[in-house]
Structure 1
Amino acid sequence: MQMAFVPEASDPGQGVATFLGTGTSVGVPAIGCDCEVCQSNDPKNNRTRCAITVRLPGGTLLIDTPPDLRHQLIRERIRLIHAVLYTHEHADHLFGLDDLRLMPFRLGHPVPMYCTEVVERQIRAAYSYAFSDREDTHPGATPKLEPVRIDESPQSILGVRVLPIPMKHGPHFDVFGYRIGDFAYCTDTNSIPAASIERLRGVRTFVVGALRDEPHPTHFNIDQAIEVARKVGAERTLLTHTGHQLEYSVTNSRLPDGIEMAFDGLQVPIVLESASA
């Protein structure tokens, strides 16, 4: 492998979140759909599967590995991922993992992969070849990953404090959102418990999933996302994991002040909290 890559120096108290994808599990446009949003020429109605990167002084943290990952990283000119953090184990947040195969060449070591036991178990089942004892036929034949088990306690990742936000995603799935400094990312949920709302107090930017106007059994709809945003009280709320029922400009025109739809490529500054704080 090549020598380890050293990230460029930056302000240790500042970070930047980049929305790689803001769409539903099938993306927008959806395959075979002729609706107005899927046929729109507005690039903000073109939404790939959900993920973000957070540029930190210690490197770039990727949250989730969606199936569109290769395209997303090339589009945003992100050359290197230093660590991956998972919200949950669903396919639209997991099945771009193989696109990380190039990263260990530049890092000089396996990619740290922060996840719960449930997520790690799913990754090992879906990507069993990445954890085989069989010797690789050539460098880069399989992803080189280093699972790091997490729970709901604060985590130190790339030198900053990351606080998991326990949430529910329908009746069967426990998932995590994450708070990083004054920024919180809470996609794929339809219930954020009171104790988790307390973990979100003081964030300036709150990202939350809002699938559509109609109710859904596993996701917040627009009205529910607005309600939880008011509980959190952030200066700015960004809606992600939005479906093709929501046209970007029309939806934004009717949202309350301080709440808007996110879009692929959107960048948000973050004030960080060091891991030692």
Structure 2
Amino acid sequence: MKITFLGTGTSQGVPVIGCNCEVCQSLDFRDKRLRTSLHLEKDGKSIVIDTGPDFRMQMLREDVSRLDAVVFTHEHKDHTAGLDDIRPFNFSQQTDIPLFGTPQVLNQIKTEFSYVFAKNKYPGVPRVLINEIGNLPFEVLGIPFIPIQVMHHKLPVLGFRIDDFTYITDANYIAPEEIEKIKGTKTLVINALQIQPHISHFTLDEALSFIKKIEPETAYLTHVSHRMGMHQRVQQGLPDNVNLAYDGLTIHP
């Protein structure tokens, strides 16, 4: 399995428009963060988790030439807004792209991209196959996914476990029964927005506390805002098995 971090930033990305802080002005490429998304390659399949507003740029940057499916964590725009840009894959592969999401997520997508589901479609609109998922394990083209429900303030969001790899973004609470699904994970990705308390995301300390509870071999922090601080400085203060993820980082869990 190969994992590429397509984006590791928060909903505004980094740099933030109009901000003059040291992070937003940084020349370190690791401080340039597009909206959070992940590319998973396994058993010859190419799967993207979340198509945010930067989806097109992310596909071009990572030279992704094939897309077999999209899996959504939740319906917020920074995780869905780039869906229209699956069209080149429709054309090159001559196939519809399967979408996997909860009924709530898929209903939002049907509203936001109503033209995709119109009775009389305009030529060239994205072609998709809808697949509803919930709290039970499911398969994406033969690859087993275990959904993990987390809370993003009051909004249910899904994380996913694939083999010994677990990916969780946009969370500030995980129930004990959901934590049980994560235990034994060797590689954990968890959101850590900033240092200060936040209403809907784990802080750095909260994320580190959760990592300590799970005890993975390696952990990565994602969905990072400019308020977290400079990448190099933050990384120096992390435990040996914890890394601040950055855009374009590739791992083989």
TM-score category by the smaller chain?
A: over 0.9
Q: Which aligned pairs between 1:188-207 and structure 2 lie closer than 5 A?
A: 188-207=170-189
Cα displacement (A) at 1:104? 1.7
CA distance in 1, matches of 2:86, 2:137: 25
Identical columns (%): 40
Q: How far did 1:29 drift?
A: 0.3
Q: Which of the residues 85, 98, 106 maps onto 2:84?
A: 98
- Alignment match of 1:252 (pick from 213, 219, 235): 235
SS of 2:98's equivalent?
strand
- Equivalent residue in structure 2 for 1:76, among 49, 54, 62: 62
- 1:275 maps to which residue? none
**Residue 11 (structure 1) aligns with:** none
Deviation at 1:232, TM superposition (A): 1.1
Tell me the residue number matched to 1:156.
139
Alpha-carbon distance in structure 1 between the residues aligned to 2:251 and 2:100: 23
Q: Deviations over 1:52-79 (max 9, x none)?
A: 0101114101000000010011001111
The 2-side partners of 1:56 and 1:78 are apart by 14
- Structure 1 residues 162-195: Cα deviation after superposition (integer angstroms, max 9, x where no partner): 110110000x200100001111100100011111
Runs of 4+ in 1 over 3 A off after TM superposition: none
Pick one of 254, 263, 277 that aligns with 2:246: 263
In the alignment, structure 1 residue 231 sits paired with structure 2 residue 217: no
- Which residue of structure 2 aligns with residue 211 of structure 1? 193
Tell me the secondary structure at the aligned position of residue 21 of structure 2: coil
Contact 1:58 1:159 in 2 (8 A): no
TM-score (norm 2): 0.97
On the 8 A contact 2:115/2:121 being kept in 1, the answer is no
CA contact (8 A) 1:62 1:85 kept: yes
Deviation at 1:105, TM superposition (A): 2.0
TM-score by length of 1: 0.89
Q: Secondary structure at the match of 1:101?
A: helix
1:41 aligns with 2:41: no
Q: Which residue of 2 aligns with 1:186?
A: 168
Helix, strand or coil: the match of 2:207?
A: helix
- Deviation of residue 231 (structure 1)? 1.2
Return the alpha-carbon distance in structure 2 between the equivalents of residues 155 and 180 of structure 1: 10
Partner of 1:29: 15
Work out whether residues 58 and 158 of structure 1, in 8 Å CA contact, stay in contact via their aligned partners in 2. Answer: no
Q: 2:37–2:51: 8 Å Cα contact kept in structure 1?
A: yes
Selected match of 1:114 from 93, 96, 100: 100
CA distance in 1, matches of 2:120, 2:161: 38
What are structure 1's unaligned runs of at least 5 residues?
A: 1-14, 271-277
Q: CA deviation at 1:268?
A: 1.2
- Report the number of matched residues: 252
1:125 maps to which of 111, 133, 150: 111
Question: What secondary structure does 2:56 align onto?
Answer: helix
- The answer to whether the 8 Å contact 1:56/1:158 transfers is no
Is this contact kept in 2: 1:82–1:107, CA < 8 A? no
| Pairing 1:143–2:129 present | no
SS in 2 for 1:17: strand
Task: Kindly indicate which of the two structures has a greater share of residues assigned to helix.
Answer: 2
Q: Secondary structure at the match of 1:103?
A: helix
- Pairwise CA distance, 1:106: 2.9
Query: Residues of 2 paired with 1:258 and 1:56: CA distance?
Result: 24
CA RMSD of aligned residues (A): 0.9
The separation in 1 between residues aligned to 2:7 and 2:110, in whole angstroms, is 24
**Distance in 2 of aligned mates of 1:116 and 1:103:** 23
Instruction: Give secondary structure in 2 for the equivalent of 1:198.
Output: helix
